[in-house]
Amino acid sequence: MRFELTPRTTVSPVARALAPVAAFIVSFLIAGFVIWLMGRSPIAAFDVYVLQPLSDPWSLQELLVKATPLALIAIGLSYCFRASLWNIGAEGQYVMGAILGSWLALKTHGTEAGFWVLPLMLVLGIVGGALYGLVPAFLKTRFGVNEILTSLMLVYVAQLTLDYLVRGPWRDPKGFNFPQSVTFDPSATLPPILESGRVHYGVFFAVIAVLVTAVILGRTLFGYRLKLTGDAPRAARFAGFNSRATTMAVFAISGGLAGLAGISEVSGQIGQLQPSISPGYGFTAITVAFLGRLNPLGILVAALVVALTFIGGESAQILLRLPLDLTQAFQGILLLCVLAADALVSYRIRLVTRGGGK
Amino acid sequence: MTTFEAILLTIVTASTPLLIAALGELVTERSGVLNLGVEGMMAMGAACSFAAAVTFDSTLIGVMAGMMAGALMAALFALVVLGFAANQVGSGLALTIFGLGLSGLIGAPFVGARRDPVPPVDIPGLSDIPFIGRLFFEQDLFVYSSVALTILIALYLTRTRSGLTLRSIGENHTSANALGLPVLRVRFVAILFGGACAGLAGAYLALVYTRFWSPGMTAGRGWIALALVVFAAWRPGWLLIGAYIFGAATVLQLHAQAAQFGVPSQVLSAVPYLATILALLLLSLRHGRAVGAPGSLGAPFVPDR
């Protein structure tokens, strides 16, 4: 028994758009099966994971809050993935952006620093993430070192750096020895859009990133260069496109956006540095990027959908006592299904049993 | 036993899981498939082996369960990358995310449980040699197996017909297919073998190295194993050396933390990860590009017809 793949001559746009939806449904069925194996009701889980968050205004706000970093990071990753470059260290770039941006917040803490603090923090966040993203890009272009492994290793290094800072030099001296920094001043806090609301201005950054990316990918030579570098590297070389410059550029962009996500989360959501500032946004964003088919608008939708699994996961932990790890397992299965569904779009697949032509 | 001897002994224990996982991945990659899911398969191996070992109070059953879990995860990966010709990098990452999550679900009820040490097996005669006797011939069975496995895989790849087939499929799947070699079938078996090895490495971590289970206990070892394969230029012999260098770095780093040199512990904890980057960099500096990489590594295979 084996599979037989034949490339489809025409790929219907409807199938292309429906593939992620189908992948999502299949992953839900698998997750339901796992929950049933664990002796819980899949129906109740579906209610808690999906229906309740969507019918509660507080959860809807939370949805935007969680979707913001996911969309920002995934948009950045889409640049890399389009060029077939594998930046899987967005989590580290997110942390480094948060660290560099927070440095200014802590430096100006308690002073009468003005309105310039917050914008400069955001810029520093972008710079921190971009510089950290450039490390694997530089190692790849200059020395030919595989970017997958270096970018991933740097995640651990970034997390340890943050851990050192909040337990050591940046610890709040009045914080009862808790490993956390002082709470940021109002001048260093990304304000909520609505008074007393939870949604901060980071949402706009995500939307701007989506719009700008849509223009860049669809309307500029750079966007075309990315696509060509990814799909046909030889052709891109013959066309005179410099693949080294492209590599550096996409890593800087994706690192910068991850850094912006990091500093926005810390200054708009958490309000201080602590050992853990992300439930794995940098890794989940990989799923988001593929679920959105590397398309800016698709990613925006995918970020909202995947954010739902985070919120659902949190309430399922409280209401059904289902562990948070279930969410991560679900996100992994979802990515597998999305990638498999992509293949279904471009290939016709037949299951050949014995005798069917060996 | 002197402290020095004790340190050397722990280096062997720290290196063994890296070696086992990397050997499996080496075979998979030699067949032309890049499986980035080692970390996830290892985590599943650790959780399932520990759960089974505690439930049935048997290390053997635990080890079997760990290998089965790794192989099952690998089968899932094979379905997606061979059956559907999906992107290998993305699918491997997905496997890791999935494995880390699922292992958390499986291991959660067993947090706090402990296993007894696995008794070492003396090799009569050899273990009486002063110093090296204790070091190399009074270890547990896993250590011996890992070295034996290294030799067997080296022989298999270079001295057998089947090993030659595997390598030629990894070098150029289109030519191999034209010659009538069963590309997908060989790759399927190679992926399963890689999964079983990763599962075994996870079982070793949980049952011998720590003897308890905690979430995220693999701590990037699967990724280091992947780097080791590159570092070893896809050769089993170099893998043995590489795994022991990394094991030594990990253990010395832990001892340095305990000795409190005034260096922050986080700096020392970062050593294995930085060392990985440095090793990859040095390798590239020496050879220009990654040497020895199989020609078809990472490319999906769809036969022409």
Q: Where are the domains of chain A?
A: 72-307
- Three-state secondary-structure class, residue A309: helix
Reported pTM: 0.90
Using CB atoms, which residue from B85, B98, B277 is nearest to A329?
B98
Report yes or no on B100 lying in a domain.
yes
Tally the domains of chain B: 1
Contact A65, A269 (CB under 8 A): yes
The 10s digit of each residue's pLDDT in A122-163 is: 999 999 999 999 999 999 999 888 899 899 999 999 999 999
Q: Is residue B300 assigned to a domain? A: no
Chain B residues inside the 8 Å CB shell of A289: none
Nearest to B85 among A148, A167, A347 (CB): A347
- Token digits for A32? 């339901």
On whether residue B249 sits in a domain, the answer given is no
Note whether residue B207 is domain-resident: yes
Check CB contact of A139 with chain B, cutoff 8 Å: yes
Contact indicator for A310, A279 with CB cutoff of 8 Å? yes
C-alpha span between A20 and A303 (Å, rounded): 13
**Smallest Cα distance from B136 to chain A, Å:** 31
Find where tokens 């802590």 sit: A106
What is the Cα–Cα distance from A106 to B163, expressed in whole angstroms?
59
Strands (E), B142-271: none
Residue A302: name the closest of A71, A129, A47, A135 by CA.
Answer: A71
Q: State which residue of chain B sits closest to A166, comparing Cα positions.
A: B266
Evaluate whether residue B186 is within a structural domain.
Answer: yes
The residue of chain B nearest to residue A168, with distances taken between CA atoms, is: B264
Task: Compare CB distances from A335 to B83, B97, B215 and report the shortest one's residue.
Answer: B97
Q: Is residue B297 part of a domain?
A: no
Closest CB to A332: pick one of B95, B223, B277: B95
Distance in angstroms (rounded) separating the CA atoms of residues B206 and A95: 30
- Per-residue pLDDT in tens (0 to 9) along chain B, 305 residues: 577 777 888 888 899 999 999 999 999 999 999 999 999 999 999 999 999 999 998 889 999 999 999 999 999 999 999 988 888 988 999 999 999 999 998 988 888 888 877 777 777 666 667 666 666 666 788 888 899 999 999 999 999 999 999 999 998 888 888 888 888 999 999 999 999 999 999 999 999 888 889 888 888 899 999 989 988 889 999 999 999 988 988 888 888 887 777 788 888 888 888 988 998 898 888 765 556 788 888 888 877 65
Contact of B84 with chain A, judged by CB distance below 8 Å, is answered with yes
DSSP-derived 3-state class of residue A1: coil
Question: What is the rounded CA–CA span in Å between residue A269 and residue A44?
Answer: 30
Considering only the beta carbons, identify the residue of B101, B276, B290 that sits closest to A332: B101
CA A311, chain centre distance (Å)? 16
- By C-alpha distance, the chain A residue nearest B268 is A160
Domain hosting residue B106, numbered range = 3-112+130-218
DSSP state of B289: S
Q: Are B227 and B279 in contact (CB under 8 A)?
A: yes
**Residue A20 near residue A298 (C-beta atoms within 8 A):** yes
Interface pTM, i.e. ipTM: 0.88
Residue B234 within a domain: no
- The whole-angstrom distance between residue B276's C-alpha and the CA centroid of its chain comes to 15
Q: Is A153's CB within 8 Å of B97's CB?
A: no
3-state class (DSSP) for residue A188: helix
On whether residue B253 sits in a domain, the answer given is no
Task: Tokens 């992948």: give the residue.
Answer: A23
**Could you tell me which chain B residue has the CA closest to the CA of A138?**
B281
How many Å apart are CA A89 and CA A129, to the nearest integer? Answer: 10
- Smallest Cα distance from B108 to chain A, Å: 9
From the CA of B179, how many Å to the nearest CA of chain A? 14
